Chain A
Amino acid sequence: MEKFVTITSNITPLAIEDIDTDQIIPARFLKATTREGFGDNLFRDWRYDEQNNPKKDFVLNNSDYAGSRILVAGKNFGCGSSREHAAWAITDAGFKVVVSSFFADIFKNNALNNGLLPVQVSQQFLNTVFEKVQADKNIKLNVDLEKQKIEIVGHNVSESFEINDYKKTCLINGYDDIDYLLSIKDKIEAYEKGSKYLSLVK
């Protein structure tokens, strides 16, 4: 996993609530057997019409927001299916951070496992970001994982965000859970010897 560093970027605003993973990457695009290439179909049905022409009014097709590495979305982002393809599509499209006032659990885990930082902010902060970006499409956010701080650059509006210490360390160092788990195999085997459930099905 790539190490996470502090990021300053313009944003892609998506002021819609309850964005589910079927919107992020529709089911018909889940047939690949590798992790790459999902970015082309990110928000496919919101982004393209049936003839595969980009829809002009969708934010990802708006050149004002091009090159952005921070996606800002409404409450309850990533609800629905457990498909990690949603996190892969977002990272494949170049995003490193998703900001929302609320994330669905499985999506949050999937994001963290792929070096994509979910930053949960207050509804008020989120509303401020949406207001500011309406006035100035070029506003930038700065996300500092070390300090756990998110700031609207030049507007003196900031907030701190929560992240589990362990996950923070993993992201900063580019660690992977599996490496850790493999290193405690003896503990896992010792657990199995005393497991009530395993003794019942033996």
Chain B
Amino acid sequence: MAAKTLFDKVWDAHVVTEIKGGPSVLYIDKHLVHEVTSPQAFAGLEKRGISLFRLQNTLATADHNVPTKDQHLPIKEALSRQQVEKLSENCDKFGVTLYGLGHPYQGIVHVIGPELGVTLPGMTMVCGDSHTSTHGAFGSIAFGIGTSEVEQVMATQCLMQSKPKTMKIEINGKLGKGVVSKDIILYIISKISAAGGTGYFVEFAGSAIRSLSMEARMTICNMSIEMGARGGMIAPDETTFEYIKGREFAPKGAKFDEAVAYWKTLFSDEDAKFDQVLTYKAEDIEPMITYGTNPGMGIKVSGHIPAETEIDAASRLSFKKSLEYMDFQPGASLIGKQVNYVFIGSCTNSRIEDLRMVAEFVKGKKKAANINAYVIPGSKQVEKQAIAEGIDKVLAEAGFELREPGCSACLGMNEDKVPKGEYCVSTSNRNFEGRQGPGARTLLASPLTAAAVAVSGKIVDVRDFNLN
């Protein structure tokens, strides 16, 4: 039998049929639904007079529009409230399971899937949200889709998909002090650009990746979309199985053992061929930060913004426009630059491990007076666990507030926004113009760097602190 990549194995197991000279019909095991990209799809089903094809493969939550305070009260903003209500209405009408506001399982769609044991190795998973790539950390094929595709999956549990090319990104070695998984992915994207992975499905491999926890792996796969890749994945291993074991919807008992036996076959064969292979050394990676308006515009926090001459002629106009928006100078260092906002949260970095990392760092320290800090757990379960572990108290003593779960200040759809012209060091995934609110200026960084910035009131190299 020909050698196969991990991607090939999962893909091949899901092809219902192929269209000659066209796409494959791919079966989708799990469809996650949220309020922003679903209303028009539900309306489409109604128009066709059909129901959802497989209710048990579908799960919905509300996350983008939800406030992070007073979730027991009606949402203040009328359009946000309407969209969340529309989701409830649609889920009721079509019989879809909904973990809406007030439900103990509510949270960011990409946080609740893994923590509930809904996300499993070897499955295909889609959602009308580009960061669906997060779930690839379990060795599943997971990717974001548009609303017409949401309707396709609702109607038929299938998607018409052309097979992407495959890329392997290998990171070997040991991570240095103060370097966490967010730095790995920001480093890779800074190397290959925001378009470097377009047309590919990426497998992350190598000893540095193997050493990471599930949460850390999710951060990396979450941002594979930011290099243009259709998705990212990591072969499941003992770390994966251990994480899944005992979770609410994961297979149990003999079923679990049977599942693990299957999951153990999910790896790229040694002689499997990738369309592209990139290799990096973990030792070369330092704490990272972005300076521009796409996630590819990242530098070592200790480094400098590139000079104009270092930028390709064709990209220079965009580079200049980007620096103008950020009000930064080519060649400048960011160290010491005052920022007034810090956002710790989003589907990239709002898991319990992220909050633990932040709490451990800020324990015994105080947030700087100029800092407005948002600390937003990714789900009700993360919130509950953070409180059980006393993380809320540690944060409160340091002047931070643990709020209620949602997408929060990652994107300007709910009440949490960064004001025009202000700088925000953010653990989210996008630094696009206006992403965190019109005129907001976003610098992407790890939760550890964000915590260090919050206590310093300015951009710092986290390695200047004592780290355990």
Residues of A within 8 A of B (CB): 15-18, 20, 22-23, 26-28, 30-35, 45, 50, 74-76, 79-85, 87, 102-106, 109-110, 113-114, 123, 127, 164-167, 177-178, 180-182, 184-185, 187-188, 191-192, 195-198, 200-201
**A90 CA / B157 CA spacing, docked (Å):** 28
* Cβ contact within 8 Å between A17 and B314: yes
The 10 A-B pairs of least Cβ separation, nearest first, read A166-B22, A84-B146, A33-B39, A110-B146, A31-B79, A113-B148, A82-B144, A76-B195, A181-B156, A84-B147
**A181 CA / B22 CA spacing, docked (Å):** 14
Interface size class of B (residues with CB under 8 A): 35 or more
Chain B neighbourhood of A26, CB < 8 A:
412, 434, 438
New A-B contacts (17) at CB < 8 Å, excluding given A31-B65, A31-B82: A22-B411, A28-B413, A34-B39, A79-B194, A80-B130, A82-B132, A103-B198, A105-B228, A113-B149, A166-B22, A166-B23, A177-B160, A178-B152, A188-B157, A191-B16, A196-B13, A197-B13
* Cβ contact within 8 Å between A83 and B37: yes
Assuming A20-B294, A82-B145, A83-B37, is B194 touching A178 (CB within 8 A)? no
Whole-angstrom distance between the Cβ of A186 and the nearest chain B Cβ:
11
* Residue ID in chain A nearest B117 by CB atoms: A201
Selected contact of B16 from candidates A18, A75, A82, A184, CB within 8 Å: A184
Chain B neighbourhood of A165, CB < 8 A:
21-22
* B105 contacts chain A at the CB level, 8 A cutoff: no
* Cβ contact within 8 Å between B433 and A187: no
Assuming A45-B438, A102-B195, A200-B259, is B144 touching A181 (CB within 8 A)? no
* B40 contacts chain A at the CB level, 8 A cutoff: yes
Selected contact of B145 from candidates A106, A184, A188, A196, CB within 8 Å: A106
**A45 CA / B325 CA spacing, docked (Å):** 12
* Cβ contact within 8 Å between A105 and B149: no
Residues of B within 8 A of A (CB): 13, 16-17, 19, 21-23, 25, 27, 29, 36-37, 39-40, 43-44, 48, 50, 53, 64-65, 79-80, 82-83, 86, 120, 122-124, 128-130, 132, 144-149, 151-152, 155-158, 160, 162, 164, 194-195, 198-199, 228, 230, 249, 251, 255, 258-259, 262, 294, 296, 314-315, 317-318, 321, 411-413, 430, 432-435, 438
* Cβ contact within 8 Å between A75 and B314: yes
Whole-angstrom distance between the Cβ of A83 and the nearest chain B Cβ:
7
* Cβ contact within 8 Å between A16 and B317: yes
* Residue ID in chain B nearest A192 by CB atoms: B27
**A123 CA / B313 CA spacing, docked (Å):** 12
* Residue ID in chain B nearest A105 by CB atoms: B230
* Cβ contact within 8 Å between B157 and A23: no
**A195 CA / B12 CA spacing, docked (Å):** 11
Whole-angstrom distance between the Cβ of B8 and the nearest chain A Cβ:
15
* Cβ contact within 8 Å between B122 and A178: no
Selected contact of A164 from candidates B50, B124, B162, B432, CB within 8 Å: B162
